[in-house]
Every structure is written in C-alpha cells, then in structure tokens.
Structure 1
Amino acid sequence: MADAGNWCLIESDPGVFTELISGMGVKGVQVDEIWSLDDESMAELKPMYGLIFLFKWQNGQPQPVMADSGPSDHIFFANQVITNACATQAILSILLNRDDIDLGEELANFKEFTADFGPDMKGLAISNSDLIRSVHNSFARSDPFVNEMQDPRSGKDEDVYHFIAYLPIHGALYELDGLSQGPVNLGACDEENWTSKANEAIQNRMARYSAAELHFSLMALTRDRLEMYEEQIEELDGLLLSLAEDAEERKQLNSDRNLLQHKLQMEQEKRSRWHRENTLRKHNFIPMVYNLLRILAEKKQLEPLVTSAKQKATSRLDNAKK
C-alpha cells in the first residue's frame, strides 16, 4: 500500500469522527455510537445516512459473496491504498454516496473530479488529497510509545482492526470495504427501514468470530442533532403562538418543547465533552512529563516514588494470589 506521506491511526470514537467530518467542510451531520440495532434505537437516530462498523481483521478471512448487484457505476467506491486510512475511507464511502448531505465546496469538487475514476484511481485520489490527509492526520497521537495499527494485509501477527461502511444506495443495501474488490450489494431494501438488513449483515460478520471476541464497534452517521433540535424547537414555538386559545394542545406542545430542550442541552454537553477530549488527544504531554520527572529527580524525590510504586504493585499481586 502507498504511504502518501504517512497516515496516522484514527481512534474509533464518535467525537473524533464528527470533528474529522467537520474539518473536511461537511455540514449538518454527526457520528454517534450505537449499542443496539433494535427498531426503537434506530428510530431515535433518524435520519441516518449510513453505518460504520469496526471489527478485528482475520488473516485469510473470506470476502463477502456479492449478491446480484447489477451495474455499480453509480456508486463511489475506492480501493484502500493507504495504510491506516480505513476509518476515513469508511466515512467517505457514506458521505460521497449520499445526495442529501452538504459536502462543502472542497469535498464536493473532489467527488465531481473523481466521478469517472475507477476504484484504484479513486483510492489514489484520496491518498493525494491534501484536505483529507491533513484533517485525518490532525488526530495523530503525540505519544511515541503508542503502536500504530498495522495494515490488514501486512502479514504481521498483531491484532489489527478495520472499518467498513453500510448504507442504502438506490434501493439496495451496500457494504463498502476498501479492501474488497468492489461494492457488495446485499439486496433490495427500503430507504426508511434498511437498518434491519444491515443488522443481519453485521450479525453474520460477527458470527465468524468466537464467542469470546468482543472487539466490535458500530457507529451511525446521522443528521446534526443540535441543528435538528433547534429547528424543531423553533417550529414548536411557532405553533404555540398560533394556538393561544387551545389550552390542551398548548400543554402538549409545551411538554414536547421541554423534552426537546432537554435533548438539546444533553447534546450540547456531549459536544463540549467531545471538544475537550479531542483537544487532549492532540496535545503533546511529553515535554510536561519529561520536565516533571527531571524536577523530581533533581529534588531526590523520584527514586522514593518509584520504590513506593513497586511496593504497591507487589502488594496488589500478592493480594490477588490469595
């Protein structure tokens, strides 16, 4: 695979993915983690544009069998040619196959420019995009002791993880995996209820692993909840103004508005937490730690702390054995 200036490992986190998407200029969407694909959970996340699935790559694992797919020239599909790019590539697989997302000027131009490219050339175009690469690498870990995820086809023995995307395209559910030969058509689906078919496909993938394997993650690309709740509150305010005489209906609308206001506040708090976590991810703490250790050593305080820590560790091990 090409390095294209080296691409860092991206952590599987909805706050990271949401900021990454925003950094590429896309507007009006966010990413949320999913704990269940039941109908009630899915209804809470509508409108949903696609799913991003993380799983542990198994060497020699079988490629999914393609259904009767028909022509796929209407699908943006790119081969992964960049080490560690699968997270961003899964995100792009959803963004660039939806007509109802505001991509922003640069990503919209990229989609138009690569429209007639084959999968390999689309992959190379992603690797050579300054915008995509710079936003992706803005999440590079500053810790030199962190081992970067290895490429699934590198033949190494370490556990490696891979992201793929599921989304409906023109009446069919597709699995888009940059390490596959092409887009996988999983059959016809309803635009409103496609997640039930996606759930089946994901469960089938998970069934290939042992019962002890828990290294899976599922996230949804949805409409920006802040934007959506603010619009819904504004709409309710307009209805409340027009129903001055109807006390019962006003009571129900006020109840609905209070619920939306609560959801909006929870979302604002979540965004604030995401922002803080992303800031910490990007900050280089190495100089601070180095200087702290140096000062402790100069004051003859480092060795006693190390000795104390060793004693505590030994004590915990002894207690665990009892």
Structure 2
Amino acid sequence: MSESAGNWCLIESDPGVFTELIREFGCEGVQVEELWSLDAESFANLEPVHGLIFLFKWVEDNDQRGSVVKDSRLNKIFFAKQVISNACATQAILSILLNSNHPDIKLGSTLTDFKEFCSSFDPYNKGLTLSNASEIRKVHNSFARQTLFELDTSNINKDEDVFHFIGYIPIDGHLYELDGLKEGPIDLGPVTPSQNWLDIVRPIIEKRMEKYSEGEVLFNLMALVSDRQLIYQRELDKIKNSGAEGADDSQSEIIRIKSLMEYDIAKKKRYKIENIRRKHNYLPFIVELLKMLGEQGQLMPLYEKAKQRALERRQQNSKQQNKMAVDES
C-alpha cells in the first residue's frame, strides 16, 4: 500500500501490533497485553500497569465523567488534539508513553525528540505536530493491512460504526482520561498513595461498557505494562539473592517463572510472524496462482464448484431459518 504524504492508515486493535509498533518507535521496556476481564486478578497479574488503552464504538456521549483540565497542569501533561483521521490508536499509545514516568520505560530518540520539540505547544498544535511527524507516521502506516485492491471510499456509508481509542493514566496523584476528541485531559479524580489507580478506573470503564446492548462486543481493552521479561528476570534475581535457590518451594517458583518467560518469548515470536503476514502483499502470488489454474483448465471448474457450494449453504440456511420460524410459531 502506497503512503501519501500526511495520510494515516487504519491499523488493527491487537496487542501484537501495538507491542511491535512501540518497539519500532524505538521505545523499550514495555509491551501491550489484552484484557479479557475487569476483575482485580486480571490486572494484578500484569503489574506494573502504566496505562490502559480503550477501544470502543463511538456514540454520542453526554455523561460528565470529570472536569476538563484547562489550568497549569497542561504544562506537565502531554495532551494532543486529534486533528487527523485514523491516527487515534497511535495517539492513545503516545498519550500513555509520553506521560509515563517509570524507570522501565525507555522512550528512545524518536519519541524523546518529538516530546521535547512540542512540549511548549498547546493541544491543537501538539496534534498538528503529530500529524506531520513523518517517522512516527511511517511506523504507524507500516502496520496497515495489505488490500488486494484500492477501494473507492467516497461512497462509504456514513452511518457505519465508528471506533475510537482513548487512554487512561495516573499522573501526579490524579487519574486522567486522554481523548484526542475532547478539549483537554479529563480529570477523573484523585488517587491517594494508599490507592491502586486500577481500582478507580475499573468501574469507570464498566460504566462505559454498560452503554452497549447485551451481546454486543464493541470495545476492546489493552494494558501498557512493563516488559514481562524484565519482571520475570527480577523475580529470578530476587530468589537468587535471597540464597533460597535450593529450597523445594523456591525450585518450584523458579520453574514457574521460567515457564512464563518461555511462554512470553514464544508469544512475541508469534506476534512477529503475524505482523509479517499482515504487511505482506499477497496479490502477485494470487494473480500467478489464478493464471496457472487458468492455463491448466482448472479455474472455471473450481469457480463453478465454489458457486454450487455457496448456493447449497444459502439453501441450508434458508431451511434452518424457516424451521426456526415454524418452531417459534
């Protein structure tokens, strides 16, 4: 897919995409994990959690969840207005990375230079700077799914579902919602030293999810967490430094941690393979395959066979629907 200057492509909401996206920005020490539940245990297994990325179907939202920050805190919080389409995934990720202050997170030169360059800008000009950040845009667009054909989007139904990414993060003792479509960061309230910010944000996200009809899966939640390899290695070092390596319970714990390390390594290898497939252009292969089947006289028989199967499936579905209608009556 060619990249026109200034264009940002849609990318998939996937922890493997986001983890490699962050790596290709040059940032180290973090990865993205998908959350399937909002229970406390799911979050505890991922600590430390630096921020949450929430994807949802955009609907008109008149609920007042907090106050828009308009005071001097804007000088310390990185917040960029969304001034371009399709970039909200990267914008939500950067909202967390550029507001994080944790020793595990190493931003790298690309993100550090970007943050320093626009640190004194207002939210709109921060968004404008991001839209023109060619290195960040290039990495973002490299994760666009390859399509077989360029489609004319001028007649796309404007009533189709629109999805949007936002971020949640604690900054200087307050919980914030960072949504580029808002006028500024949303202050969701204080987080005291004795509180875990995740206990405060969970009911807020749950309330947003309740807006959707039962059975609709129109949202996705991911956590930006410290690289699991760093965490596991620290746990191993702690056991080693305690001098308890020989104890039976310590041996069991070492085996458990090493198993988790191996699982994480295998998962990241799978991410890499999946992303290579996402980026690969299969069109030349498909064209050559179709040409070869045509030359061998197999293309039309396969087409007719596929058409017949499609017809049979439609007839079967029609029979099942008619049966259900009779049963309900």
Give TM-score, length-normalised by structure 2.
0.88
Change (3 A) 1:243 1:94: closer
Q: Could you tell me how far apart the structure 2 residues matched to 1:140 and 1:200 are?
A: 33
Where does residue 158 of structure 2 map in the other structure? Answer: 156
Kept after mapping to 2: 8 A contact 1:54/1:162: yes
Shift of 1:281: 0.3
1:82 matched to 2:84? The reply is: yes
1:262 matched to 2:259? The reply is: yes
Segments of structure 2 that go 5 or more residues without pairing to the other structure are: 320-329
1:231 corresponds, among 225, 234, 253, to 234
Q: Deviations over 1:250-285 (max 9, x none)?
A: 112111111101101111111111111000000000
1:132 matched to 2:133? The reply is: no
Change (3 A) 1:127 1:193: same
Q: Percent identity?
A: 48
Range 85-94 or range 187-196, more displaced: 187-196
Change (3 A) 1:276 1:124: same
Change (3 A) 1:292 1:262: same
Residues 1-322 of structure 1: pairs in structure 2 closer than 5 A:
5-58=6-59, 60-62=60-62, 64-67=64-67, 71-73=72-74, 74-100=76-102, 101-145=105-149, 156-190=158-192, 193-239=196-242, 242-243=243-244, 250-322=247-319
**Number of equivalent positions:** 310
Determine helix, strand or coil for the equivalent of 1:289. helix
Change (3 A) 1:231 1:286: same
Q: Could you tell me how far apart the structure 2 residues matched to 1:182 and 1:93 are?
A: 12
Give TM-score, length-normalised by structure 1.
0.90
Change (3 A) 1:295 1:155: closer
Change (3 A) 1:54 1:27: same
Kept after mapping to 2: 8 A contact 1:72/1:183: no
Q: Could you tell me how far apart the structure 2 residues matched to 1:200 and 1:215 are?
A: 18
Look up the equivalent residue of 2:315 and give its one-letter code: D
Q: Deviations over 1:28-58 (max 9, x none)?
A: 0000000112111111000000000000112
Q: Deviations over 1:127-161 (max 9, x none)?
A: 111221111011122214587999xxx99222111
Determine helix, strand or coil for the equivalent of 2:163. strand
Change (3 A) 1:129 1:64: farther
Kept after mapping to 1: 8 A contact 2:68/2:186: no
Shift of 1:163: 0.3
Q: Deviations over 1:105-124 (max 9, x none)?
A: 22112112211110001001
**RMSD, aligned CA:** 2.3
Q: Could you tell me how far apart the structure 2 residues matched to 1:203 and 1:294 are?
A: 52
Segments of structure 1 that go 5 or more residues without pairing to the other structure are: none
